[in-house]
Amino acid sequence: MTAIMGIVNVTPDSFSDGGCYLSADDAIARGRELRAAGAHILDVGGESTRPGAARVEPAEEQARVLPVIAALAADGAVVSIDTMNAATAHAAVELGARIVNDVSGGLNDPDMLGVVAASGADVVLQHWRGHSADMYAHAVYDDLVPELVAELEARLAAAARAGISPDRVILDPGIGFGKRGAQNWQALRGLDRVVAIGPRVLVGTSRKRFLAEALAAASDDEISTARRDAATALTSVLAAQAGAWAVRVHDAAATRDALAVWTHWQGEGEHV
């Protein structure tokens, strides 16, 4: 069964739920809610990576996320820290995080891969071509899928040089990062080639703009959060079909149910 990574944004400016869980208590409650709804992993982040987002100093990032990570890890949850900063990753792992989810694939902070190697944590290496402020300027490809695969393979090799074995690596094609509209669909259609690299693969489509664009093309109705979540659940099933190890979502329950139906469609989990 494909794992569900639930998103806990402890930020004022994330594109979908910025400010909803900015206090530690609210973020902890959100994490517990996601876990109860079927999330296997809780991904806690203190810096928005929405298009155009400003950077956050590591000290502020840590003040936002560390109390949340400590509480959720104490609950027994599998916690991931969503950060590009080695110092934040180190502090989070010390408090119980088991996965470092670096959207920059280790490119933002030269110390990141070394810190992860020493920590024993697993690491998500995402395809990345620059920070949110200018990432779309780099959304230029001659042939997207082969370039995506080659750039992920380069990050996997960098991790190996730092002492991180492939079984500790999770690759992420970076949907919405340095990719415009149709380029995201190209990346998803090539997901089997990302899976073929070898390590586990994480896919994050949740509520992203390219889904809203597809829904807007289908009808003139308002593109509500509920509609984006339904589209996310469908892309989660399609990612599972392509071999994804996990999907990263805001609405764990919708994706849980969609994956359960797909599992039965496949003839697994049936009770006669």
pLDDT of the residue at 249: 97
- Whether 37 shows a pLDDT value over 50: the answer reads yes
Across the strands, what pairs with 122? 99
- Whether 134 shows a pLDDT value over 80: the answer reads no
In tens, the pLDDT along 140-190 reads: 999 999 999 999 999 999 999 999 999 999 999 999 999 999 999 999 999
Q: Strands 169-172, 78-82: parallel, antiparallel or unpaired by DSSP?
A: unpaired
Measured distance CA(106)–CA(85) in Å, rounded = 9
* Tokens found for residue 244: 């994804």
pTM of the model: 0.92
How would DSSP label each residue in the chain? --EEEEEEE--S--TTTTTTT-SHHHHHHHHHHHHHTT-SEEEEESS--STTPPP--HHHHHHHHHHHHHHHHHTT-EEEEE-S-HHHHHHHHHTT--EEEETTTT-S-TTHHHHHHHHT-EEEEE---S-TTTGGGG---SSHHHHHHHHHHHHHHHHHHHT--GGGEEEE--TTSS--HHHHHHHHHTHHHHHTTSSEEEE--TT-HHHHHHHHHH-SS---HHHHHHHHHHHHHHHHHTT-SEEEES-HHHHHHHHHHHHHHTT-S---
Answer yes or no: 248 catalytic: yes
What value does the mean pLDDT take over residues 263-271?
A: 78
Answer yes or no: 55 catalytic: no
Write 161-169 long-range contacts (CB < 8 A, 24+): 162/106, 162/113, 162/114, 162/116, 162/117, 163/114, 163/117, 163/118, 164/113, 164/116, 164/117, 164/123, 166/198, 166/199, 167/199, 168/116, 168/121, 168/122, 168/123, 169/122, 169/123, 169/125, 169/199, 169/200
| 135 or 258: which leads in pLDDT | 258
In tens, the pLDDT along 85-111 reads: 999 999 999 999 999 999 999 999 999
In tens, the pLDDT along 223-253 reads: 888 999 999 999 999 999 999 999 999 999 9
CB 206 within 8 A of CB 9: no
Active-site pick, 64, 179, 248, 256: 248
Active-site pick, 64, 208, 227, 256: 208
